[in-house]
Chain A
Amino acid sequence: MGNESKAMIAFTVNGESAEVAFAPHKMLLEVLREDLGLTGTKHGCELGECGTCTVLLDGTPVLSCLVLGLACAGHDVGTVEGMASAGKLHPLQETFADLGAAQCGYCTPAFLLTAQALLAGNPQPTRDEIKDALAGNLCRCTGYIKIYEAVELAAARMRGESAEPTRESLYGA
């Protein structure tokens, strides 16, 4: 057991090229967490049911618990660790932090990345488009509402608007 020969792949992780050797049956989730030490990617089922392990594969959200590590050779993987750059948070990270869209924070990396992919293709999504895009991600803490608001606020800021959270969203009606 555990003695099978390792596979080696080269791919890009958060914009940097990486080479990693791992047991060939491993899923991308395990390769990231166990072999690259990128524990920001979480898991809630490892069966493709919760969306918690979402990462970006060539910019598209995928469930890393269902993608073989081997299949990522030559591809580009984005994780939560790559969202902030030069010590500065991504606008989505800023708004998630300010609005309390991360409570326990366990589902948060997956929501951030899914939202990032949404905004890359649709800079001004409607509330329903946001709900649709996030429908595969479960969050047990927030009731999703602060997540929608954080995505909308970040989207506005990324469009160059100077948007602030509404009073109602922070203090109630």
Chain B
Amino acid sequence: MARKPSDRRIIGTALRKIDAVAKVTGTTRFADDLAFPRMLYCKLLRATHPHARVVSIDASAARALDGVQAVLTGKDLPIPFGILPVSQDEHALCVDKVRFIGDPVAAVAATSEETATAALDRITVAYEPLRSFDSAEAAVANPEPRIHDYGDSGNLHKLIDLEFGDAAAGIAEGDVVREDLFFFEGNTHLPMEQHAAVAVWSPDGKLTLWSSTQTPHYVHRALAKVLELPPARVRVIATPNGGGFGGKSDPFNHEIAVAKLAMLTGRPVKITLTREEVFYCHRGRHPTLMWVRTGVKKSGAITGMHFRSLLDGGAYGSYGVASTYYTGALQTVTYNIPRYHFQGARAFTNKAPCGPKRGHGTPQPRFALEVHVDKIAEQLGLDPAELRLRTLVPPNSLTANYLRVGSMGLGRCIEKVIAGSEWKKRFRQLPEGRGVGLACSSYISGAGLPIYWNNMPHSGVQLKCDRSGGVTVFCGSTDIGQGSDSILAYIVAEILGIDPFDIAVVTADTDLTPVDLGSYSSRVTLMSGNAALQAAERARQILAVHAAKQLEVPVDRLQFADGRVFDGNDSKRGMSFADAVQAAEAAAGTVGTVGSYTPPRSAGRYRGAGVGPSPAYSYSACVAEVDVDPETGIVRVPTIWIAHDVGRSINAATVIGQVEGSIYMGLGEALMEEMAYRGNRNVVHKIPSLLEYKSPTTLEMCDVITYLVEDPDPNGPFGAKEVGQGPLLPVMPAVANAVYDAVGVRIDEVPITPEKVLKALRRKAKGEAGRVGPESFPDIPWPEPTRVPTPWEGGDGKAVEQVRA
């Protein structure tokens, strides 16, 4: 019954997405497109102080306003929540303290948006300002006043120290030891759709929330917790997201506020955030300061690495503990690092909370590592492509920090972009002002562990075969534009031999669909894809048994293709897929199956080993070409060549789309995007608007030449690995390396703005180091390291027992 890969009809083909027509006709219903009779509108009153005690709130004048149906303050929702079990530090409305400008303190529901807005003006909040901190360094230097009353030390939320082998000794074995400092500025997702949510409460005690969320399952849990409702009476429906990129992955205060307002008023309540408020939700890239020291042999072999990161977390925990681990986790999966020491710290500051943005915690260290490697190559007199090719992590291996690498196509990726960009003819050979730069990267295809501890599957699928020949797939996954609904249909269609457009896909509804943990960590194609694959194979099994009886053909000779079930030796002997369903239904009853997916157990057994393991790692290599104007410092990027090892494309066209979208977003981060704050007095967001937060338009976007490399991974469905995030990672360092090739200055800081380029050029002209970047890394009270012997030292993934003082 198994078909050869060459027999595949759907997997790998460029097809329309199953929701493409809805998207191009404007019929897709996003959260703000929903409206209900008697619906109320919610507005949030937000803090005007970055850090202050809430002394009192007087909402009586707001309550008296005609049209106002309810006003909530912090005391109405006292139970804290947060995405990670270890950081339950948010309240729907601040209870006793505000922690950044934009923190919500009160919520109003009124019969119109105008009335709700007018009511906000009638709420008086008395604040007692506290000293505020606008940078991670300020938080390190000032343990008091504490922004939160939990965390590892003062205003340090999290401190990590992990050592795999004796890194210092390893570094000392290098012929060259190089030390560098880097800074990566924070930036934000900027989805075109502003977050929106609508809550409906029914007098029978059931709550329904529609929301533009990437993680309906976690919103479900947070609502049940904060509202103290039985989870079975709470239904969360994730509407198609108008872009997410990680910015809609946390349970949000506004979702809880509308739910509570719906319960109080008995009427549907909707909120749509303004663009300014979307900047306050944030959860974007952590501003990160990094220090790295590496020992390298003349051959290019790395002997050891020590990496430090300091993250500015903003006002709340969010995914930050995971983000911090991620700044140290994936250094080891591209180049062989035999001994490795990672120290990471996350500070609380009085700014909008940071969290997971596309690449989650790994673009910052990837930027540092790839520029650092470029400098090492120059120091050794090696071509940076050659250096990388010499040090690649082998496939099917275990890294020093116990990450299990499966398929590994980075070598092929490097060769593709080197050839395509004519690297050998151009690197260090272009006229002044023009340059090329190379960088590589890797990313996870889903995390090995769930966000809250449990031993259930990460993704589930239910499949119903209808006697019409139609099939319905139910899955908790959420389509945020990446095409995850379509992936389910393609995979099921491939296995059952039917047209993917005969498949109905029902997703992201906690009442109707089995749990999928959500659209984050590039996990959906691999995890829900594997669940769909299992469910479809089970359905095929059932159908085959009954079709075989009817056709009098041995089961294992049956094939499913082109909407038919037939004898592989005699294709005329067969029946339609619908007839096969009917035969099975007549003989055995309703045809339905389930499938689920749990990632393989990870090899690391030490504390902190939960972040980094993945069923499969994608790989990318990127060459950027730049034009630098030495008069203005303006960097233009005409072309980027990118090769991405996606394992196997399920739909080539959506893979290309993810690659191009990632390059675009990386280009924005490389050149212009930054969350800037006025730190002098008030830590107020400088630019909460689409006009002032610069992102690339059609006029800045570069040409992209994409090469898909397919190195199938046994853990992926049909070998597929991730593509939504990985290709973003190498863009920033490739651009930085290209700027150096073009004008000989190092911008060790992202974004690479004209001001920084000019500053570096001026320094160089004066005979100083032509560099702009951080100068020092603050002293951090690192904990005693967790020491884990590497696999090649006979380690078993566990930490060495420590004698506690």
Residues of A bordering B, CB below 8 Å: 1-2, 33-34, 39-47, 49-50, 52, 79-81, 83-84, 89, 92-93, 96-100, 102-109, 112, 130-132, 134-146, 148, 165, 169-173
Question: Could you jot down 25 A-B contacts, CB within 8 Å?
Answer: A1-B67, A1-B114, A39-B26, A40-B25, A40-B26, A44-B192, A49-B689, A97-B24, A102-B23, A103-B482, A104-B192, A104-B241, A104-B242, A104-B243, A104-B480, A105-B24, A108-B23, A109-B26, A132-B699, A135-B698, A136-B697, A140-B190, A145-B704, A172-B706, A172-B708
Quick one: closest B residue to A105, CB to CB?
B23
Chain B residues within an 8 Å CB radius of A143 = 660-665, 701, 704
B566 within 8 A of A: no
Chain B residues within an 8 Å CB radius of A2 = 67, 111-112, 114-115
Chain B residues within an 8 Å CB radius of A42 = 30, 192-193, 242
Quick one: closest B residue to A44, CB to CB?
B192
Quick one: closest A residue to B664, CB to CB?
A143
Contact A172–B652 (Cβ < 8 Å) = yes
Most buried by A among B21, B25, B33, B114: B25
Q: Which of B18-35 contact A (CB under 8 A)?
A: 19-30, 32-33, 35
Chain B residues within an 8 Å CB radius of A80 = 24-26
List the 10 closest A-B pairs by CB distance, nearest first: A40-B26, A104-B481, A105-B23, A106-B242, A143-B664, A80-B26, A170-B14, A97-B20, A143-B660, A39-B33
B191 within 8 A of A: yes
Contacts A105-B23, A135-B699, A141-B657 known; list 10 others, CB within 8 Å. A47-B691, A89-B25, A97-B21, A104-B241, A104-B481, A105-B24, A146-B657, A172-B659, A173-B420, A173-B705
Tell me, in angstroms, the Cα distance from A96 to B699 when the chains sit together.
20
Known pairs A40-B26, A99-B653; A141 contacts B115 (CB<8 A)? no
B39 to nearest A CB, angstroms?
11
B483 within 8 A of A: yes
Quick one: closest A residue to B709, CB to CB?
A172
Residues of B bordering A, CB below 8 Å: 14, 16-17, 19-30, 32-33, 35, 65-67, 110-112, 114-115, 118, 189-194, 240-245, 274-275, 420, 480-483, 652-657, 659-665, 689-691, 695, 697-699, 701, 703-708
Tell me, in angstroms, the Cα distance from A140 to B662 when the chains sit together.
10
Most buried by B among A41, A80, A100, A107: A100
Contact B29–A112 (Cβ < 8 Å) = no
- Helix, strand, loop or mixed for chain A's interface? loop
Quick one: closest B residue to A130, CB to CB?
B698
Q: For B22, give its contact among A50, A105, A136 (CB under 8 Å).
A: A105
Contact A102–B652 (Cβ < 8 Å) = no
Contact A146–B240 (Cβ < 8 Å) = no
Chain B residues within an 8 Å CB radius of A109 = 26
Quick one: closest B residue to A169, CB to CB?
B656
Contact A139–B192 (Cβ < 8 Å) = yes
Known pairs A103-B661, A134-B698, A171-B652; A141 contacts B23 (CB<8 A)? no
Chain A residues within an 8 Å CB radius of B701 = 143-145
Q: For B193, give its contact among A44, A130, A173 (CB under 8 Å).
A: A44
Chain A residues within an 8 Å CB radius of B27 = 40
Chain A residues within an 8 Å CB radius of B656 = 100, 146, 169-172
A166 to nearest B CB, angstroms?
11
Chain B residues within an 8 Å CB radius of A102 = 20, 23-24
A149 to nearest B CB, angstroms?
10
Chain B residues within an 8 Å CB radius of A41 = 26
B129 to nearest A CB, angstroms?
30
Known pairs A80-B25, A105-B23; A131 contacts B699 (CB<8 A)? yes
A125 to nearest B CB, angstroms?
12
B663 to nearest A CB, angstroms?
6
Contact B118–A170 (Cβ < 8 Å) = no
Contact A49–B24 (Cβ < 8 Å) = no
Contact B16–A138 (Cβ < 8 Å) = no
B285 to nearest A CB, angstroms?
14
A108 to nearest B CB, angstroms?
6
Q: For B17, give its contact among A46, A89, A100, A173 (CB under 8 Å).
A: A100
Contact A89–B242 (Cβ < 8 Å) = no
Known pairs A42-B242, A170-B656; A98 contacts B16 (CB<8 A)? yes
Tell me, in angstroms, the Cα distance from A92 to B25 when the chains sit together.
11
Tell me, in angstroms, the Cα distance from A84 to B698 when the chains sit together.
26
Tell me, in angstroms, the Cα distance from A34 to B67 when the chains sit together.
19
Tell me, in angstroms, the Cα distance from A139 to B698 when the chains sit together.
9
Contact B697–A135 (Cβ < 8 Å) = yes
Contact A96–B24 (Cβ < 8 Å) = yes
Chain A residues within an 8 Å CB radius of B704 = 143, 145
Most buried by A among B20, B66, B190: B20
Contact A97–B23 (Cβ < 8 Å) = yes
Contact A44–B194 (Cβ < 8 Å) = yes
Quick one: closest A residue to B663, CB to CB?
A143
Tell me, in angstroms, the Cα distance from A130 to B708 when the chains sit together.
27
Chain A residues within an 8 Å CB radius of B114 = 1-2
Contact B690–A49 (Cβ < 8 Å) = yes
Most buried by B among A33, A108, A165: A108
A84 to nearest B CB, angstroms?
6
Contact B698–A46 (Cβ < 8 Å) = no
Quick one: closest A residue to B701, CB to CB?
A144
Most buried by A among B115, B192, B691: B192
B198 to nearest A CB, angstroms?
13
Most buried by B among A49, A102, A130: A102
Chain B residues within an 8 Å CB radius of A47 = 275, 689-691
Tell me, in angstroms, the Cα distance from A41 to B25 when the chains sit together.
10
Tell me, in angstroms, the Cα distance from A81 to B656 when the chains sit together.
28
Q: For B690, give its contact among A33, A34, A79, A138 (CB under 8 Å).
A: A138
